[in-house]
Amino acid sequence: MLFFKTNKVNTSATSNIVLFLIGLNFIVLIWSSCTFAVPLSEDGESEKIEIKKKSSGKLKKPRGKFTKIPKVAVFQADGVFWPYKVERDVEGPFAVHRTDVLPKQMEEYEMKTPLNTKIIQTYQCEHEIVDNKGKSIKTYDGIKGILEAVKKKGSKLALIETTTEGATLLHLVTLCGFDLFKFKEVDDDPEIDHIRRIQTQAEVEFKDMTYFGANETSLKEINKLGVTTVQIHGGLKMEHIMRGEQIYAKAHQI
């Protein structure tokens, strides 16, 4: 009977090989995450080269920065800038009279918004505007400062008014120093049509607009479009701007 002799596997040698492979793999991993210095010149200066592993996973797009400031702020003129209707109560053209009788007064408005707090200072002009009949034209206090503040915060300004005396109204806006508007819709069309045209010109959505007006009926119609609306009583004040921003921010919560 023949017997075949089998060689036993040297378990000690096998273990050494396995340990060697594990150690080699560990060294490769460390090497791939290290930063090396490669000489660039003979004087020993070097440049660091960082070796990074490529990520196989999909990167998530960062969410855009959310703003609580409306892109377009629209203002009616009559009842907001002054306590009358230009078409009915004044007659152009206007004249400007320099006067030393009117004192130079300063008014301060504390503007508290979801984003910041500022003090707005406005000064009464040292001149008087009169219409063709010699009637002195009065405006509500602080209008220019409020408009400047809204514009500085990043909103584009728009002016609307339904009137047959568009040229007269625009002339008065300029004389009062209120002409800070990017868009103007002043004619005898309804206010809601003005809003639609401004929305098209500004290339924004209705929800990105605020409207400050005195006509309650028009405000309700415009609000149905998705525009944030604020009704003005007794002239535009900083509290109206604050109220508009609060309503706008609440409607745009994510």
* Whole-angstrom distance, CA of residue 134 vs CA of residue 199: 38
Region 237-250: mean pLDDT is 93
- Three-state DSSP class for 230? strand
Q: Lowest-confidence range among 70-74, 101-105, 147-151? A: 101-105
CA distance 162 to 3: 116
CATH of region 72-89+140-252: 3.40.50.1000
Return the DSSP state at 206: G
Query: Which two tokens mark 188?
Result: 């005898």
Query: What confidence tens digit (pLDDT) does each residue in 188-205 have?
Result: 999 999 999 999 999 999
Per-residue pLDDT band for 92 (boundaries 50, 70, 90) equals confident
Dihedral Cα 197, 201, 202, 207, nearest 10 deg: 30
pTM of the model: 0.65
Question: Which pLDDT tens digit goes with each residue over 94-120?
Answer: 888 765 443 444 333 333 333 333 333
pLDDT above 70 coverage of the chain, percent: 61
Please tell me the distance from the alpha carbon of residue 70 to that of residue 209, in angstroms, as a whole number.
Answer: 6
Distance CA 113, CA 210 (A): 15
Instruction: Return the H-helix or E-strand segment holding 80.
Output: none
**What single letter denotes the amino acid at residue 124?**
Q
H-type alpha helices, 68-165: 86-89, 143-152
**131 — pLDDT class (breaks 50, 70, 90):** confident
pLDDT band at 44; cut points 50, 70, 90? very low
Please return the burial class of 208, using the count of CB atoms within 10 Å of its CB with bins 0-12, 13-18 and 19+: buried
* Span 53-70, pLDDT tens digits: 444 444 344 344 445 789
Residue 9 corresponds to which amino acid?
A: V
Q: Measured between alpha carbons, how far is 207 from 251 in angstroms, rounded to an integer?
A: 9
The answer, yes or no, to whether residue 133 has pLDDT greater than 70, is yes
- Supply the pLDDT for residue 200: 97
Residue 26 has pLDDT above 50, yes or no: yes
Report domain extents, the chain.
Answer: 72-89+140-252
The pLDDT value recorded for residue 64 is: 41
